[in-house]
């Protein structure tokens, strides 16, 4: 079996529980692109991403544990203090997967899918820029928490910058870093479908206004992915176009590579 064969049962388990609870969600980023363009995995992709508006995300975290299979672990900074992101992972605890930067962390290590909350951004430009600067700093601190991450292959100045941040990252700890990040991301959530969002943007731009209207994340429809049916926002074309530009065009061959560096894998 290939790695993708272990991702699919996880996203099916996630989908099963969301259907039981009546929680809408959407495939996102490269997973949604794969569903539209390839009817499944992008051949060089190495993970599965889903997203849901913050209110449904929090409800999933509250109610899903009663319905998930025993071997599926909800991992975020609230459940495992050294979790590396502000978002949540569903982890298959019967597998073992270690990515670059994770070796030292006392967390459940296994095949996972990412669940991203969709939050509203500030409407005032100046506040938006300050929020984005803060999120960039917190992201850099996360990347600097372990020496393994500090010395990860990158440009020399980037490694030096991470080493400079290393003492502060260790002083704050991942829980506090992620708690501050969540506060910044959620402080403009007033409810309703108004406003704009960065959704699950991996790199938050400093001065670019959020590209996605919040309203497009509330209406979903079924879409095929591999041998299953999952959910996607109805306006997936607008989302993909603003995320990737001409998303039907394949990237150059030298860019068709996995996003994650796997150090150890046991399936």
- By DSSP bridging, strand 49-53 and strand 112-118 are parallel
Q: Which of 89, 75, 25 is nearest to 51 (CA)?
A: 25
Tell me, what's the pLDDT at 2? Answer: 63
Tell me, what's the pLDDT at 20? Answer: 98
Q: Are residues 112 and 200 in the same domain?
A: yes
Beta bridge partners of 262: 99
State the helix-helix crossing angle for 236-244 and 29-37, rounded to 10 degrees.
Answer: 110
Tell me, what's the pLDDT at 206? Answer: 85
CATH number for the domain harbouring residue 18: 3.30.460
Question: Please, are residues 204 and 198 in contact by the beta-carbon 8 Å criterion?
Answer: yes
| DSSP H helical ranges for 187-265 | 236-244
Q: Are residues 157 and 258 in the same domain?
A: no
Question: Please, are residues 107 and 81 in contact by the beta-carbon 8 Å criterion?
Answer: no
pLDDT digits (tens, 9 = 90+) for 212-222: 999 999 999 99
Please give the backbone phi and psi of residue 225, each rounded to the nearest 5 degrees, phi first. Answer: -145, 115
Question: Please, are residues 49 and 7 in contact by the beta-carbon 8 Å criterion?
Answer: no
In what helix (H) or strand (E) does residue 166 lie, and over which residues does it extend?
Answer: helix 156-186
Last residue of a domain, one of 179, 209, 224: 179
Q: Are residues 204 and 259 in the same domain?
A: yes
Domain of residue 112: give its range: 4-120+193-266
Tell me, what's the pLDDT at 255? Answer: 84
Q: Total structural domains in the chain? A: 2
Residues of the chain with pLDDT under 50: none
In a domain, 184, yes or no: no
Q: Are residues 204 and 106 in the same domain?
A: yes
Q: Are residues 211 and 90 in the same domain?
A: yes
> Is residue 2 classed exposed, middle or buried when 0-12, 13-18 and 19+ CB atoms within 10 A define those classes?
exposed
Q: Which of 24, 29, 30, 31 is nearest to 10 (CA)?
A: 31
Tell me, what's the pLDDT at 1? Answer: 52
């Amino acid at each position: 079996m290939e790695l993708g064969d272990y991702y699919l049962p996880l996203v099916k388990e996630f989908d099963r529980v969301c259907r039981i609870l009546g929680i809408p969600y959407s495939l996102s980023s490269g997973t949604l692109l794969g569903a539209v363009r390839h009817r499944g995995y992008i051949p060089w992709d190495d993970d599965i991403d889903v997203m849901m508006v913050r209110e449904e995300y929090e409800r999933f975290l509250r109610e899903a544990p009663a319905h998930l299979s025993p071997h599926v672990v909800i991992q975020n900074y609230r459940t495992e203090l050294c979790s590396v992101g502000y978002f949540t992972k569903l982890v298959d605890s019967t597998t073992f997967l270690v990515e670059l930067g994770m070796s030292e962390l006392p967390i459940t290590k296994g095949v996972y899918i990412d669940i991203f909350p969709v939050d509203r951004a500030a409407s005032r430009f100046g506040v938006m820029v300050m929020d984005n600067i803060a999120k960039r700093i917190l992201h850099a601190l996360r990347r600097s928490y372990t020496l393994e991450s500090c010395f990860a292959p990158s440009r020399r100045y980037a490694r030096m910058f991470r080493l400079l941040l290393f003492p502060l990252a260790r002083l704050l700890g991942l829980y506090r870093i992620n708690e501050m990040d969540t506060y910044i991301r959620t402080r403009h959530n007033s409810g309703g479908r108004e406003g704009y969002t960065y959704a699950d943007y991996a790199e938050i731009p400093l001065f670019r206004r959020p590209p996605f209207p919040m309203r497009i994340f509330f209406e979903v429809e079924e879409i095929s992915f591999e041998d299953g049916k999952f959910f996607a926002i109805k306006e997936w074309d607008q989302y993909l176009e603003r995320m990737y530009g001409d998303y039907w065009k394949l990237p150059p061959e030298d860019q068709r590579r996995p996003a994650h560096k796997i150090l150890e894998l046991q399936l």
